[in-house]
Structures are given as C-alpha cells and as structure tokens.
Amino acid sequence: MTVERGGNANVLEVRDLVVRFAGRGRGRRRSVVTAVDGVSFDIARGEIVALVGESGCGKSTIALSVMRLIEPTSGRILSGGEDLATLHGHALRRARRRIQMIFQDPFGSLNARQTVRQTVAEPLVIHHLGATVGERDAMVMDALDLAHLRPPERLAEVYPHELSGGQRQRVAIASAMVMRPELVIADEPVSMLDVSARAGILRLMMDLRERLGTSYLFITHDLAIAWVVADRIAVLYLGRIVEIGPAAELVERPVHPYTQALLHVSSGDDQLAGEVDGGVLAGETPSAANVPSGCRFHPRCPRYVALGRPVACTSEDPQLHNVGRTPVNLGEHRAACHFTDEETP
Amino acid sequence: MSLLDIDDLSVDYRTAAGSLRAVDHVSLRVESGEAVGIVGESGCGKTSLGLSIPMLLPDNAAIASGSITLQGRSLVGLSESELNALRWTSVAFIFQGAMNALNPVQRVDRQILEAITAHDKNASRDESYQRVLELLDLVGIAPSRAKSYPHEFSGGMRQRAMIAMALACRPSLLIADEPTTALDVISQAQILNLLASLRRSNSLSVIMISHDLSAIKRVCDRIIVMYAGVIVESGSTEQVLGRHGELASAQHPYTHALIRAHPDLRGERVLAEGLAGHPPDLSTTIVGCRFADRCPSVMDLCRRVEPPVVAVESGHVARCHLAVRAK
C-alpha cells in the first residue's frame, strides 16, 4: 500500500518527547534518569515505523508515553488534532480508543481465567461500545476472524492455556483490532514466540495494514525483522534517535556508526568485523542515568577512535540532519553524527 | 571414547492425558572440546534431552530407555549423591532464564564463591576468592563490579555471571539452555562470542540448546535439529547451514523452514512464509513422518511410512524420504 505523508495524513506526531524518572539517592543528590531525551517522529496513515535499539534505549518508554501509561515530562504527542500529552479523564479515554497496544509476552498479557471471547470483548465493555450483547458479540467474532483465529465460534470459548504462543498473540491482536484503532503499538510482539510462529504474526500485522489501513509503531531489538516489516526505521541510542530513514535505505547505507555496528551484529558479521565493532561489543551498555558528554555514543564509537578522538564528539551534542539520497517524500534519511561524511574504517 | 555418549535415549512424561514421549530414541555423541547445538521449536524435546544428561528431569518425567555415558561412566541409575558429585564438577547446566535465578539479596561474588566452596571443601577462602575474580575476568566482568548485587547488572552481565558460576568447578561439559533468549542483539553477540572463546581456550565441551539457528551457528561445530522428539537432521554446522554466503545444504524441509524463518539482512527484503500448523500430539501413536502435516513437500508415502535416516554424506544425516544420499 502507498503511504501518504505529511499534514492530515499523519496518525501520530511526536514532538520533542522527554521522559525523566527519579533515580536513586535522596534530596539534592537524587539522580535523574532521562529515558527519552527529545525524540520527534511521525507515523503516516497506513505506515509502519520501527523503533530499534538495545535494552534501555528508551523504545518501550516511548511506546508507554504515547499510550499515556507513563507521564511524559515534556513534549507533544499529537493525534487526531489533540495533544495526548495534556488530555485527562474522559477525553484521554476517548483518544485511547484510536491507539491500541500489543505486548511482548502473550503468556503474561492474557488473563488466564478469561475465555478468548471475554478477553476480546473487554475493551468494548470498557469503552461502552456495542449497543447490545449481540452486537458486541458480532464485533468480537469479526475481530477473531480478522486475526485468523478460525473458526471464531470455537476459539472464542477456549482459555489461554489451550493455545500456542502464536495463537495467544493472535488473541492479543484481536483484542486490539476489535477497537478498529488507527494506530497499533506493538512492543516486541514476536520476540517470545518460536521462530516458526513469528512470520505468521508479522504477516497478519502487515495484512491488517493492507486491509484496514492500520498504522503501526513497531518496537523491536531485531533489525532484520524491522527491515522486512517496517517502512521506516528509527534507531535509538540512550533515549535519542541517532538515525532514521526508509528501512531499505537505512540497512543498505547506514550512516551512524551505531547503526553500522547493530547491522554487523545482526547479520552475524561481528566475528569477522570484531575489530570494527570491538568498541560496541566490548563496552557495557551505558546507563541513561549517566549520559556521556557531547555525542552520547562516543565512548563506544569506532569512528571516534579512528578519527583520532575529535573534540567535537566529546563537546557538542550532534543533531539529526539530512544524509539521504532518496526523495524527501519517501521520508528523509537523517543521522545524528558530526562525521557522517566519513567512512568507518 | 567420547566425552558424552547418549544411546537410544527415550524420555516419557506422565501427564493427565496419559504418557507422552518427549524424547524418542535419540542418540548423540559429544567429543571433548566440541560444541553441539540442539535446535527446534518449543515442545520438540530439546530441553528434556538437555535435562536428562545431568538427570535433572522433572518428577513426572522418566528415562524410558537408553543410556547416557559421561566420561566412561553410565549415569542412568546413579544415586542422587553420586549424581551430585558429578554435577557442577563434570557437567554444569545453565537453565533457561537462569540470569533471573541469581539471589537478589546476595552480592554476585558471594554467590560464585558459594558454588566453589560447596564443591571443594578443602579450598582456602583466599584461594577460592581469587578463583571468583578469575572467573569474573574470564567472562568479562571487571573485579570492581564483583561486589555488585544482581539488580545492578544488565541482563547480559547477569547471564555472564551465571556462566562464571557454571564454570566455577571446572566442568568438562557445559549445557546452556537458551542462553541468549531475552537479551538484546549486542548482549547476545557478547554471550555467543564468550561461549565460543571459552570453548576454544578452555577445551570445554558445550551443548547449546536454542530455537535460534543463527545463535547456534556462531558457537557450534555441529547442529542437531529436533522435531517432535526425534532428531530429523544432524551434521556439521557447514553441512547443515552451508558455508558463509552459500545456500544452505540442509536436507530436511523442517531445517529449511527454520533457516528461512529469520530474515537475512544480506539476502532479500521479504518476509518468509511461516510454518503453519503445530507439531503432532506426542501422546498418540504417530504413523509415517512426524512433519508430514506441515511439510511443503509432503508425499503419499510420508503419511504411511516413517522416513529412514539417510546418510547424506559422512557425518550428515537427515530423516526424510526426500533426502539425497551424496554420491
């Protein structure tokens, strides 16, 4: 499907999102963890945008902030002409109908004591949708069918323990789709599934996009999966987007040294490229409680070392700038590195 | 003599629905210093096979037939105290999700120290503590972090601490069940590189159990593919997965499905077909090939006759009617 970009075609616009958590210590010595540090991105109608990064990079915090399950510290989350970051009560609940979430663990996210029918009907009950029991039930059956839980009449009566991991994740998708959301936030939806079940779930998500125009914010640590599923990929490092662009271009021509390292590791090239990625693989993942000065990636950056430790890397925080070769309407390719013109050794 | 020799092993589980054969006449050898990967989806019997080696099967499971010989000693039928003498010192096991099994209220160095002193009563405290620091260094944890609590470590570091603990009593065989699941790619690569280097530098034998072929490929010399309790294909990593950049030379359609299941960043940008359906119910008698219902190349014969084990080439076997014997 073709994705139209810009203006009213966006289902979500995140602007300068910052999320801080109180860390350890007391009083003045209390530390602050900046989990998300000024993140902006858009998702167009029918578009799949992937957030990729290591654990602790802030990708799940962004997802939970968009759902307002975590309070953003500052920034705007625009959807349907409203700023979700400032909504409260009834207005927030109404806005949430447009955005649904699928979690990583299909074993923990479903209520073991509820049948599939009860689980999928619950969002309808909460949001007072469906005038009669019959109408509600028709919506549930329709959602089960959409999620390829067939025959819906039989699967509606089973409990989660009777289902495989893949089927459970389909139930989670059905209970998101029963609300006919504009945007689905999928947080590592296949990472706990068997490899054989993964493709089925990813195909289902892509199929729903084709049929219903659903947009996705797809959160994963797996660059290869992001590459085949998403239209655009944003690579996160310590709460910042360090590179964003069309999925094919970003993988073919990564510009940020962190993206390059992720790519090496994800394609199993890291033993060959051990020298190149030594910095990334050897270094401990830094903590968001103690963000390095200048470019936050510099302590692990092979390019920083190769260029003879330029002062800019330790003193100036690099901003995202255009590095793309594709037309802007495909989504700009941008990276936050002072030396994007330099080749990594 | 092989380090480990599993011959014709079957493991049965008693369930409410009756008896269920999780491991069905499996034979497997591991040589000293060799790394063997066991791959397959949930319920294929790979964890049961792994747990049977140190006799750590759950109470409702039992070895129905076969033998397990470790360093020339038969393990089936040994008493619990005889087995305890072998566990940790000859064979160490890293359980699935073990990184979450560290005691949260005890410092990491103390936990590893305990593993050493519990098995070597004569070791002096200083010597043992020196060994703790050596072990942490071996897995890439700086001595300055030794006195940390588990929550102060990242997931990858906790997993490395678990590996250090498993190596505490210098075992000859390390069995690691899904050691990289739930870790992000960089931590995964670190753990896999660590396992690969430990095995080379310490002549350690490794059995790595995983559903992730690419993880196994990085560490193991040999791959065993299990499906519904049986080995459907085994061979050297190169024989099964092909050499770098080549097409895989796997013979079994299930192995092919596993290989295709994960997109290859160097290949085409397409999402492979998933493998529809489920493995067969192991509590019933299976006629013909166990994979027949999900196999894209299924023939009439497959549903009637159990496929033979075909020797494709030396060291490479596949249990499939379509497997081709090399000339």
Tell me, what's the pLDDT at A329?
Answer: 60
Tell me the C-alpha to C-alpha distance, in Å, between residue A185 and each of A83, A278, B252: 17, 34, 37
Q: For residues A160-180, give the mean pLDDT.
A: 93
* Mean pLDDT lowest among A12-16, A229-233, A271-275, B218-222: A271-275
Task: Give the integer Cα–Cα distance in Å for B182 and B186.
Answer: 12
Using the predicted structure, report yes or no on whether residue A111 has a pLDDT greater than 50. yes
What residues pair up with B205 in beta bridges, in sequence order? B173
pLDDT reading at A332 higher than 90: no
pLDDT value, residue B216 = 92
A18 has pLDDT over 70: yes
Per-residue pLDDT band at A252 (split at 50, 70, 90): very high
Peptide bond into B263 cis (omega under 30): no
- The residues, ordered by sequence, that sit 6+ positions from B321 with a Cβ below 8 Å of its Cβ are B289, B299, B301, B302, B305, B307, B308
Which of A164, A223, A268 comes nearest B218 by C-beta? A268
Report the 3 state secondary structure along A218-249: EEECCHHHHHHHCCEEEEEECCEEEEEEEHHH
Mutate to test the interface with B, among A162, A168, A196, A198 (most CBs of B within 10 A): A196
- Predicted structure pTM score: 0.89
Question: Once rounded to an integer, what is the mean pLDDT over residues A173-189?
Answer: 95
B295 part of contact set with chain A, CB < 8 Å? no
Nearest residue, CB atoms, B275 vs list A196, A266, A285: A196
* DSSP string computed for A293-321: SSSTTGGG-HHHHHTT--HHHHHS-PPPE
Q: Facing residues of A104 across strands? A: none
Asked if A216 and A48 count as a contact pair (C-beta separation under 8 A), the reply is: yes
CA distance B152 to chain A (A): 11
Q: Tell me: pLDDT of A1 over 60.
A: no
Distance from CA of A83 to the nearest CA of B (A): 32
What does each C-alpha distance from A308 to A40, A125, A170, A314, B233 come to in angstroms?
Answer: 32, 61, 51, 12, 50
Give residue A328's pLDDT band: very low, low, confident or very high (50, 70, 90): low
Q: Are A79 and A12 in contact (CB under 8 A)?
A: yes
Judge whether residue A330 has pLDDT over 90: no
3-state secondary structure of A194: coil
Residue B302's nearest CA partner among B286, B320, B318 is: B320
Whole-number CA gyration radius for chain A: 21
Res A274: pLDDT: 47
List chain A residues with CB under 8 Å of B214: 268
Is B134 in CB contact (< 8 Å) with chain A? Answer: no
- Prediction ipTM score: 0.83
Q: Is B155 on the interface with A (CB under 8 A)?
A: yes
C-alpha distances (whole Å) from A151 to each of A119, A141, A154, A247, A318 are: 17, 9, 6, 36, 54
**Which residues, in sequence order, are CB contacts of B255 under 8 Å at separation 6+?**
B225, B232, B233, B240, B248, B318
- Please indicate if any CB of chain B lies within 8 Å of the CB of A164: yes
Is pLDDT of A216 > 90? yes
Contact of B255 with B240, CB cutoff 8 Å: yes
- As a whole number of Å, the end-to-end CA separation of chain B is 30
Give the 3-state secondary structure percentages of chain A, helix then strand then coil, rounded to 5. Answer: 40, 20, 40
Query: What is the pLDDT, as a whole number, of residue A313?
Result: 96
Q: Identify the top-confidence range among A21-30, A192-201, A202-211, A272-281.
A: A202-211
Helix (H) / strand (E) element for B127: namely helix B125-138
Q: Are B36 and B27 in contact (CB under 8 A)?
A: no
The DSSP letter of residue B258 is H
Q: Determine which helix (DSSP H) or strand (DSSP E) holds A135, and give its type and residue range.
A: helix A133-146
Please state, in angstroms and rounded to a whole number, the distance separating the CA atoms of residues A58 and B181.
20
Which chain A residue lies closest to B139 (C-alpha atoms)?
A282
Contact B222, B234 (CB under 8 A): yes
Q: Are A56 and B183 contacting, i.e. CB atoms less than 8 angstroms apart?
A: no
Q: Do B257 and A196 touch (CB under 8 A)?
A: yes
Residues in chain A closer than 8 A to B186 (CB atoms): 54, 261-262, 265, 280-281, 285
> What pLDDT digit, counting tens, does each position of A266-294 carry?
887 655 444 445 566 666 667 788 899 99
Q: Residue A91 is inside which H or E element, if any?
A: helix A89-96
**Token pair of B73 as six digits:** 């000693």
- Inter-chain residue contact B185 with A265, CB threshold 8 Å: yes
Per-10-residue mean pLDDT, chain B, length 327: 94 91 96 95 93 95 96 94 92 86 93 90 89 92 91 88 92 94 84 88 90 90 96 95 69 91 88 84 91 94 96 94 82
Cα-flanking dihedrals φ and ψ of residue A161, to 5°? Answer: -65, -15
pLDDT of residue A276: 46
Interface of B with A in 186-225 (CB under 8 A): 186-190, 193, 196, 211-214, 217-218
Structure-model confidence comparison of residues A237 and B186, the more confident one = A237
